[in-house]
Amino acid sequence: MAAMSEDDKATFTIWAQSRLGRLVRSATLLTGDQQLAEDLVQEALLKVAMRWPRLRDGNPEAYALTVVFRDNVSWWRRRRPVIVEDVPDVPTPIRPDLTEHRLVVLAALDCLTVKQRAVLILRFYDDLSERRTAEILGVGVGTVKSQTAAGLARLRAVPELLATLDNEGGHDGRR
Amino acid sequence: MDEGDVRRLLEVAVEDTRPRGLADGMWERALHAQKRQRLRAGLSAVCVGALVVTAVATTGSLNGDRAGRPAGPITSSSDTTQPTRGPQRPPTTTFAPSDYPFAESPAGLVDASVVQDLWTASRAESTPWVHSPIPRSISVGGATDLSTDPVEHALMAVQVSLDRPDTDDIFVLGDDMRWRRVEVPGLEPVADQATHSLELLRPTSLTRDGTMLALPQPGEIVVVDLLTGQVERYEVPGLNGSVIWSADGTQILTGNQGRAGGRLLSLDDGSVQRTQQSGMVFDTTFAPDGALIELHNVETTKGYHFEIRTDGGLEVPPVRLTVDVSAGVYQQSVHATDNAIAFVRAVYGWSSPRERDERHGVVVVDRLTGKVLAQLPMLSDVFLYESSPMGWLDDETLLLRLGSDVVSWHYPSGDLRRILTTEGEPVGLAFAPAAVAAVID
């Protein structure tokens, strides 16, 4: 375990402050929940800090994203829902703190599998290559391609998302 | 909608997200965590040292001392002169697993002889193929319609996303090695109670003999008779995230991972009963003898708890079985024979990749005692998304999905054979283990 100096602290702090927003926003898209996203990012930052002497000259952001996305799988599998006698079969209640656009996008992302969602966010929000995405998720490039195609196909089937695009004038009618 | 549209949608959706000062104090926390790790490593070294000293002392007493005097006969305590230099020391403090959440529990330490060679993606390439007529890769091109061309038995089912972007299609492979398209109009996406979408084709959708296919739907279960192509819909309240066939194929247990209260659908009369499940049920399976086996609890340092209900989960109190190996989070993949239970053991969280790799994997335990009979560890990268038992081919051979490979694993001998690869990435995959076993050597 490498020793951590004051210089390391300064460079880590600068790096963390500059990347924090992007990481939290990426994790928010991934989880649909800003609080959970912040928890994931906090754990990721701590792991980056503990390995900073080895990571600082490499790609700490990729390492942080790896932690966020893999720990999210962990959380998703580990989740322990509240036990109720009979779960009401109703959709998740709408959260007033979210804008309409955000609600539509998050709801559309909920139509995806965990893997499709992760792939689309890394490819199209974090703007990573297929190869880098595959490395972060620990899957093959072929998986990234197929999950990208499948995820995009599912998003195209969400009418509310298409309506949002139309309203913003960014959709040329192709589906 | 193209990739540019998706980029913009994602960008705008979170543009107003303002994180709190998460980076504040992070460096100090990291320093503190490092100190704890060093202290833990030091304690471990001390314990190892103490064990070595104890072992040397014991060996010395059995083999004679340094002066070359031979060891005396092993005597009972009544024959032995007690030391006179004060009271006996308490036993050496042993390593407490609760101090280190990913250590094995001493009481449940897995016998190293049952831990088999690590499965890696590269190992798959050198694994021999099983002798069988099953195509080694999935290609549903040229599939016929099940309604006009039914099967005798289906070996497997896949859900694939084809060119039509809004359609997920389901196909079955007959024991004549030809694919059929399963036509069920009006299928809706399914999700668990946390609204995460699930594959419509569940890993347990096929009966063991491959004659029936069940698909969960909100408020109902769709059952397809693969011998005729006929589709029946049964009203079953709830989200219905899972479908688990009884051993005789006459009942389906449905429910959702992590919630109490499954529903047992009888195909004979369409009746639905609530089972007596209680607490958090992480996964359920039926054994061939009809017993309902539930994975009830997973505690990182206290192992896995199964409850076994011999009457199918209706009235008789369950037998509790504790598998005392340190547990990780769980993936839905419990399968049982009359004598054994197989499941996936996964470790995430604060463990290092090396710690994860040593403990990820498939575990087979004795159904009566909980003793670990075999463990197939695997690298976390192979494991991460799609590795799990898919059913038992016979009492000693498990059908496993390991990353992109499907293999048979004879757990007593460790013999692994490739059956097929899942190139093309099917969204969902299910097998009929008895039908598969009938066509492989």
- Same-domain check for residues A125 and A171: yes
- In this prediction, residue B23 carries a pLDDT of 67
Helices (H) and strands (E) in chain A, counts: 9, 0
A127 and A58 in a common domain: no
Residue with tokens 């790790």: B37
Residues of B in Cβ contact (< 8 Å) with A29: 10, 13-14
- Nearest beta carbon to residue B23 from set A45, A83, A87: A45
Contact B17 A25 (CB under 8 A): yes
Rounded to whole angstroms, the Cα distance separating A155 from A109 reads 7
Question: Do the Cβ atoms of A98 and A11 come closer than 8 Å?
Answer: no
As given in the structure block, the two tokens for residue B382 are 């192979």
pLDDT of residue A154: 87
Q: Is the pLDDT of residue A119 over 70?
A: yes
Q: Which residues of B touch A69 (CB under 8 A)?
A: none
Contact (CB, 8 A) for A129 and B15: no
Nearest-by-Cβ selection for A113 from B197, B258, B380: B197
CB-CB under 8 Å, B165 with A157: yes
Query: In this structure, is residue A148 part of a structural domain?
Result: yes
Largest CA distance in chain B: 91
Closest chain B C-alpha to A57 CA, distance in angstroms: 17
Instruction: Identify whether A85 is part of a domain.
Output: no
- Answer yes or no: do A68 and A101 share one domain: no
- Give percent of chain B above pLDDT 70: 64
Question: Searching chain A, which residue's CA lies closest to the CA of residue B348?
Answer: A74
Average pLDDT over residues B167-190: 85
Amino acid making up residue B274: R
Q: Indicate whether A159 belongs to any domain.
A: yes
Site of tokens 């942080």: A64
How many CB atoms neighbour CB B54 within 10 A? 12
Q: Are A102 and A76 within one domain?
A: no
pLDDT digits (tens, 9 = 90+) for B143-155: 999 989 999 999 9
**Residue B127 burial by Cβ neighbours in a 10 Å radius (0-12, 13-18, 19+):** middle
Q: What mean pLDDT do residues B399-406 have?
A: 88
Contact B398/A at CB under 8 A: no
Residues A102 and A171 in one domain: yes
The Cα B344–Cα B412 span in angstroms is 17
Residue A92 within any structural domain of the chain: no
**Does one domain contain both A23 and A76?**
yes
Q: Is residue B17 part of a domain?
A: no
Which residues on chain A are in Cβ contact (under 8 Å) with B196?
76, 110, 113-114
CA closest to B199 among chain A residues: A113
Q: What phi and psi values does residue B198 have, to the nearest 5 degrees?
A: -120, 155
| Structure confidence by residue, pLDDT tens digits, B316-368 | 667 777 776 655 555 558 899 989 999 887 655 444 555 555 567 888 988 88
Give me the pLDDT at residue B242, please: 83
Q: What is the pLDDT of residue B214?
A: 96
Residue/partner pairs of A122-125 with CB below 8 Å, 24 or more apart: A122/A26, A122/A65, A122/A69, A123/A148, A123/B3, A124/B3, A124/B6, A124/B7, A124/B10, A125/A25, A125/A26, A125/A29, A125/B7, A125/B10, A125/B11, A125/B14
Contacts of residue B34 in chain A, CB cutoff 8 Å?
1, 4, 50
A70 and A102 share one domain: no
Cross-chain residue pair A138–B381, CB shorter than 8 Å:
yes
The CA–CA distances, whole Å, from A32 to A125, B23, B255 equal 14, 21, 24
Residue B98 is predicted with a pLDDT of 36
- Going by C-alpha positions, the residue among B119, B205, B265 that lies closest to residue B390 is B205
Give Cα B357 distance to the centre of its chain.
Answer: 15
Binning pLDDT at 50, 70 and 90, where does residue B279 land?
low
Per-residue pLDDT at B51 exceeds 60:
no
Name the residue facing B26 among A34, A45, A161 (closest C-beta).
A45
In a domain, residue B101? The reply is no
CB contact under 8 A, B165 and A139: no
- Cα–Cα distance, A151 to A122 (Å, whole number): 12
Q: Decide if pLDDT at A112 tops 70.
A: yes
CATH of the domain at B266: 2.120.10.80
Counting residues of chain B whose pLDDT is more than 90, the rounded percentage is 27
DSSP string, B376-397: EEB-HHHHSSSEEEEEEEETTE
Range of the domain at B129: 121-439
Which residues of chain B does A86 touch, with a Cβ-Cβ cutoff of 8 Å?
Answer: 238, 261
* Cβ contact, residue pair B7, A12, below 8 Å: no
Whether A2 and A73 share a structural domain: yes
Q: Residue B45: is its pLDDT beyond 50? A: no
My answer on whether A106 and A162 are in the same domain is: yes
Contact criterion met (CB < 8 Å) for B27 and A12: yes
Asked if residue B154 lies in contact with residue B206, where contact means CB atoms within 8 angstroms, the answer is yes
Shortest Cα–Cα distance, A13 to chain B (Å): 7
CB atoms under 10 Å from CB of B70, counted, come to: 7
User: Between A46, A83, A150, which is nearest B260 by CB?
Assistant: A83
Write down the pLDDT at residue A89: 42
B147-166 b/e (C-beta count within 10 Å ≥ 16 → b): eeebbebbbbbbbbbeeebe
A52 within domain boundaries? yes
Residues 66-125 of B with CB under 8 A from A: none
> What per-residue confidence (pLDDT) applies to B351?
47
Assess contact for B172 and B156: CB atoms under 8 A. Answer: yes
Average pLDDT over residues B58-72: 38
**Mode of pairing for the β-strands spanning B179-182 and B144-145:** parallel
Check A150 against B161: CB less than 8 A apart.
yes
Over residues A47-73, mean pLDDT: 82
Q: How confident is the model at residue B101 (pLDDT cuts 50, 70, 90)?
A: very low
Number of domains in chain B: 1
Answer yes or no: is pLDDT of B280 > 60.
Answer: yes
Tell me what the mean pLDDT of segment A160-167 comes to.
79
What is the pLDDT, as a whole number, of residue A85? 38
DSSP H or E stretch at residue A53: helix A52-55
CB neighbours of B13 closer than 8 A, spacing ≥ 6?
A29, A101, A102, A105, A106
In a domain, A17, yes or no: yes
Distances from the Cα of B209 to the Cαs of B175, B420, B434, in angstroms? 11, 19, 5
The Cα B135–Cα B368 span in angstroms is: 38
- B64: in domain: no
- Which of the four pLDDT bands, split at 50, 70 and 90, describes residue A120? very high
Going by the DSSP 8-state scheme, the letter that residue B141 receives in this structure is T
Residue at which a domain ends, from A29, A52, A80? A80
* CATH code where residue A7 lies: 1.10.1740
Classify residue B427: in a domain, yes or no. yes
Please name the member of A29, A74, A99 whose beta carbon is closest to the beta carbon of B10. Answer: A29
Which chain A residues touch B256 with a CB distance below 8 Å?
87
pLDDT at position A91, please? 40
The whole-number pLDDT of residue B326 equals: 58
Q: What is the domain extent for residue A44?
A: 1-80
**pLDDT mean across residues, chain B:** 74
Q: Which residues pair with B303 in a beta bridge?
A: B299
Q: What is the count of structural domains for chain A?
A: 2
Q: What is the pLDDT of residues B302-315, one digit of tens each?
A: 567 777 877 655 56
Inspect the interface and report whether the beta carbons of B385 and A115 lie closer than 8 Å.
yes
In the stretch 270-299 of chain B, residues with CB closer than 8 A to chain A read 279-280
The whole-number pLDDT of residue B100 equals 33
Any chain A CB within 8 A of the CB of B353? no
Range 239-268 of B in CB contact (< 8 A) with A: 239, 256, 258-261
Rounded CA separation B389/B330 (Å): 13
Closest residue of A to B275, CA-based? A85
Tell me how close the Cα of A71 comes to any Cα of chain B, in angstroms.
Answer: 6
**B98 versus B206: which is more confidently predicted?**
B206
Question: Which CATH number is A119's domain given?
Answer: 1.10.10.10
Which of B6-20, B168-182, B248-262 has the least mean pLDDT? B248-262
Lowest mean pLDDT among A76-85, A101-110, B44-53, B326-335: A76-85
pLDDT at B332: 57
From residue B160, alpha-carbon distances to B134, B163, B407, B408 in Å are 18, 10, 20, 23
Measured between beta carbons, the chain B residues lying within 8 angstroms of A112 are: 197
Whether residue B381 is contained in a domain is answered as yes
With CB atoms and an 8 Å threshold, state whether B13 touches A91: no
Please give the distance of CA B51 from its chain centroid, rounded to a whole number. Answer: 35
Of B218-232, B384-398, B422-436, which one has max mean pLDDT? B218-232
Could you tell me if A76 and A1 lie in one domain? yes
The whole-angstrom separation of Cα B23 and Cα A100 is: 30
The Cα–Cα gap between B326 and A116 comes to 31
- Partners of B119 in beta bridges: B378
Of all residues in chain B, the one with the smallest CA distance to A18 is B23
Strand partners, B430: B157
- Please tell me the distance from the alpha carbon of residue B154 to that of residue B225, in angstroms, as a whole number: 11
